[in-house]
Amino acid sequence: MLTLKDNKIIYKYEFCQQCGACGAVCPKEAISFVELPNGLKKIEVDHERCIRCKRCVAVCPSNRHITTEADDYVSSLTNKCFFLSHNNNDIIRRNCSSGGAVKTIVINGLKQHLVDGVYSLCKTEAYPFAKGMFYTPDNVPDFGDMPNSIYHSVMACTEIKDVHKVKTLMIVGTSCQLYAMERALVGKYEKLIKVCIFCKQQKTLDSTRFIAKMQGAEIPSDRNFKFAYRGNGWPGVVRINGKGLLWERVAALPFGRRLWTVPGCNICGDPFGMEVGADISVMDPWSIHKPNNLGDSLVTVHTRNGLELIAQIDGLVSDEQSYSDVLPALGLDDVWRKRICVPAFKGEQCDEKIKTAVKTEKYQREMLTGIVERLPRMPLLFYRLLNKIEPKSRDKILSPVPDFSDKKQVKVITRHAPSNYGSLLQSLATLKVLSGMGVRAQIINYQRPDERSFEKVKTEAKRKYANALKQLAYQIIRYPIERYAEIRFDKMRSRYLDMTSLCRTHDDLKKLVADIYLTGSDQVWGPMVNGIYDPAYFLSFVDRGVKAAYSASFGRTKFDDATQKAYRQLLSTYHKIAVRENNAVELIESWQLQNCLGRVLDPTLLLSGAQWEELIQVSTHKHKVKEPYALVYQLGNNTLLSDYAKNVATQRNIKLIRVNPFLHQITRGGEFVLCPDATEFLELIKDAEILITDSFHGTCFAIVFNTQFVEVLPAGDTSIRNKNLLEMFGLSNRIVNTLDDIAVAEERVDYDRVNELLDAERKRSRDVLEKILTSD
C-alpha cells in the first residue's frame, strides 16, 4: 500500500496486493521492485527522484475501501445471471483453466472486432511466471500464449505503459488488478470492459515450491523449473517438470488453505470484482457436478455489457443456470467471512470478537506455515490431516452466511456423517429429490463429536474389552483405519452434499433458519454411539417453522417404556411424519399420534437407475472391472456372508470383489477395493453379476440398478429394515440362511415385477413428500 504522509511516499508491505501498477505509472522511475525469497516484491521509493505527484497512490488497489456490507455484497449475487460456459473445441476446453471461457472471450473478442484491445497476461520463458501484455486485432494471442490460472503472485500491471489508445478496451485480471488497471489506463479508451478472474487469494512462490516438494521434484531455489497449473480437463493436473498431481489433491493440501497468502489479499473482500464494476467474473464451478470431465467456467454476469459480450462471442457455449444451481460453487460462506474480517486485518474499528478471531487466525497461520515449510517430504495423507487444522475460534464466532434464495428453505437433519455409502447417498438422494420439487434444500452438517473417528474408536474399545491394554491395542490398530475412511468421506460429503456450516452442539443448531425442518432418512431415531437417542434428530432445537419427517427410522423394534414416553412427547410436536418401516408406523399409531402419513421409500429408491447413472458418468472409473464379478458389500461380521460369496464366485468361475470403507475387511476374501469414491461404489454395484450383502442400502442399489443379489441378514433387531424392504418387493426369498442355500443365488430376481411395484411405491412416496412440503 502506498500513501503520502509528511510529504513522503510511504509503503506498507503487509497491505501490498502485488499488482505492480505503482512502478508502471511513476513518471520519474522512482519506484523499484526488490524480489524477496518468497517470490513477492517489496517496493522501494527513491525519495530523491519522487516529485510527489501521487499517481502511485491513485492506482494502488490497497487504498480502496469496502463500500457495501458483507450481507449486501453476498445477497446482490441473487440478481445476477449465471452461465456454465466452455469453448466448443474439446481440446481447447480441456487445456484451459476450467472451461476456457476467459481465453475464448479475449481471443474471439479481438478476432470478431468486438473489442479493439485487451490487456491481460502472456506466458514468459519461465512459465508460469507471466507478465502483462497488450493484445490487439493485429496481435491476437493463441490459446497457448496465455497462461492458465497462476495461483502465485503475478505483477500483472507492470507493462501497462504499452497500451495505446483504443475505442473499446478489455481488461482481464483479478479484482485488485482491475482496480489498478482502470486507474492507470485513464484516457486510453472510450469504453472499458472488465473481465474479473474470481480470486480469493494469491499465493507466494513458497506454495508452488511446496507442491513441488510433495511431488518429489527437485526445486532449485531460482525460478528455472517448469510448472503448470490446471489443464487436462477437470479437476485438472498440476505438473512440475513433467510430473503430475491431480489439482483436487493439491487443493486439499495446505496450499488450498490460508498458508502462504500474499499479505495484501487479507484486506481484499471483492473476489467477484463487483466493487470495481466488473462486467463479468469467471470462476471454477468445482463443486457443481459436471456431466463429463472436460471442464466448465462459471460466468457471473454483472452488467448488460457483460451479457451482450457473452452472447456475441463465437465458439463459447453457454448454458444459463439458476442462482440455486450455482450456489454451492460460489463459496459464499468463505467470501462473506473474509469480507467481514477485512476491517480487523486493516486494524480498523470492528467487533472485538472478530478482532480476536483474526488475531488467532494470523497466529495459527504463521505457526502452521513455519511447521509445514520445515517438514520433509511426507505422505500426502499426513498433509491432508494437517489441512484439517482450521481456526475454530473464527468459525464459531461468525454465524453462517444468510441464504437469500426466494425458494422455500428446507433444512434436513439426517445421519449423513457416518463413514458409509448408505449414509452419504441417501442424503444426496434427499437433496436431489427435494430440489427437484422446487425447494432449496440443505443437509444440516450436524456432527456429534463422539461419532468422529477418535472418540468412536475409544468408545468401541471400551465396549469390546475390559482390559485397558487390550483397549489401547484396539485403538492403535483401529484408529488409522477409521480415520482414513473419515477423511475420504469428509471429502465426498463436501463434494456431493450442499450442507450448512458445521454444527457440533444444540446451540449451533438453534442458529439455523428454515421454512421446513425435516428429519431425514436412516436410523435417526435409534440409539447413538453412546447408547441413547439424540433429541437433535427429533428437531428439539426448532422453535419456529414446520417440523416434519421423511423416511425416518427407529432402527430397531423394542424400546423400554421411558424411551417410548419420551419419543411420543418429541414426535407430538411434528406437523407430519412419514417413516421408512412398517414397525415405525405401528409404534407411532400405538402412541395415538395423528400426524403419521404412513410408510414411504428410502430416498435412494426415489431416484431411478438412470438418475443414479448420471452420477456414475462423472466417476473416474478407476475401479471399473472389465470381466464378470461377484461383489461383496458387508457391514457386519457374519462369516456366513464371506463364505457364501466365495462359493458363488467359485461356482460361477468369476472374480470376487469386496468393497468397503474400512481396511480391516481386506482379510475376508475377494479382491479388495478400499473406500472408493461414491460414484465408483455405485458403478461397482451396477456392473456386478451378483451382489452379496447385508446392507440395507446395498440392497436398495441392487434394486435400483436391477442387479442380481442375495442377502444375509444382519444380526439383532436392526435386520428389521432389510426384512421390511425385501417384503415390500416380494423379495424375501433372496435371504440366505446357510451355506447350502446356493439355489438362492442361482434363481434370478424377476425385475419386471419389482420395477412395477417400485414405480407405484415411488409415486406414493413422492405424493407424501409433496404433502410435507406444502404444510404450513
Ligand X SMILES: Cc1cc2nc3c(=O)[nH]c(=O)nc-3n(C[C@H](O)[C@H](O)[C@H](O)COP(=O)(O)OP(=O)(O)OC[C@H]3O[C@@H](n4cnc5c(N)ncnc54)[C@H](O)[C@@H]3O)c2cc1C
**Partner from ligand SF4, ligand X, none contacting 664, C-beta within 5 to 8 A by type:** none
Q: Looking at 52-60, 74-82, 276-284, 503-511, which segment touches ligand X (CB under 6 A)?
A: 276-284
Neighbours of 399 (CB within 10 A): 13
| Residue 657, H or E segment | strand 655-660
Does the footprint of ligand X cover residue 283 (CB under 6 A)? Answer: yes
Chain centre distance of CA 250: 14
E strands, 661-747, are 671-674, 690-693, 709-711
Cell numbers describing residue 170: 478489455
**CB 215 to ligand SF4: min, Å:** 25
State how far the alpha carbon of 131 is from the alpha carbons of 23, 81, 195, 399, in Å.
14, 31, 17, 40
Cβ distance to ligand X smaller for residue 87 or 427: 87
Contact indicator for 460, 470 with CB cutoff of 8 Å: no
**CB 49 to ligand SF4: min, Å:** 7
Contact indicator for 611, 704 with CB cutoff of 8 Å: no
Cell numbers describing residue 139: 496481435
Site for ligand X in 566-585 (CB under 6 A): none
**Partner from ligand X, ligand SF4, none contacting 172, C-beta within 5 to 8 A by type:** ligand X
**Partner from ligand X, ligand SF4, none contacting 121, C-beta within 5 to 8 A by type:** ligand X
| Separation CA 235–CA 298 (nearest Å) | 14
Neighbours of 395 (CB within 10 A): 16
Q: Looking at 96-104, 489-497, 513-521, 741-749, which segment touches ligand X (CB under 6 A)?
A: 96-104
**Partner from ligand SF4, ligand X, none contacting 262, C-beta within 5 to 8 A by type:** ligand SF4
| Separation CA 339–CA 269 (nearest Å) | 4
Contact indicator for 172, 197 with CB cutoff of 8 Å: yes
**Partner from ligand X, ligand SF4, none contacting 516, C-beta within 5 to 8 A by type:** none
Full DSSP string of 510-546: HT---SEEEE-SBSTTS--TTSS--GGGGTTT--SSE
Q: Is 119 helix (H, G, I), strand (E, B) or coil?
A: strand
Residue ranges that bind ligand SF4, judged by CB under 6 A: 1-2, 9, 16-22, 26, 28, 30-31, 43, 45, 50-56, 59-62, 174-176, 180, 199-202, 262, 264-265, 268
Contact indicator for 462, 557 with CB cutoff of 8 Å: no
Q: Any bridge partners for residue 440, and if so which?
A: 409
Cβ distance to ligand X smaller for residue 282 or 412: 282
**CB 598 to ligand SF4: min, Å:** 53
Q: State which of residues 18, 208, 297, 679 lies at the interface with ligand X (CB under 6 A).
A: 297
Taken as a whole, the chain contains a residue count of 776
Closest CB to ligand SF4: residue number = 268
**CB 766 to ligand X: min, Å:** 34
Q: Looking at 25-33, 280-288, 542-550, 735-743, which segment touches ligand X (CB under 6 A)?
A: 280-288
Cβ distance to ligand SF4 smaller for residue 62 or 420: 62
**CB 182 to ligand X: min, Å:** 14
Contact indicator for 49, 29 with CB cutoff of 8 Å: yes
| Separation CA 694–CA 582 (nearest Å) | 20
Site for ligand X in 97-126 (CB under 6 A): 97-103, 106, 120-121
Q: State which of residues 108, 202, 387, 665 lies at the interface with ligand X (CB under 6 A).
A: 202
Cβ distance to ligand X smaller for residue 66 or 294: 294
| Separation CA 470–CA 493 (nearest Å) | 33
Site for ligand X in 135-174 (CB under 6 A): 146-151, 154, 156, 172-174
Cell numbers describing residue 702: 441392487
**Partner from ligand SF4, ligand X, none contacting 519, C-beta within 5 to 8 A by type:** none
**CB 172 to ligand SF4: min, Å:** 13
Residues within the interface to ligand X (CB under 6 A): 96-103, 106, 120-121, 146-151, 154, 156, 172-174, 177, 197-200, 202, 282-284, 297
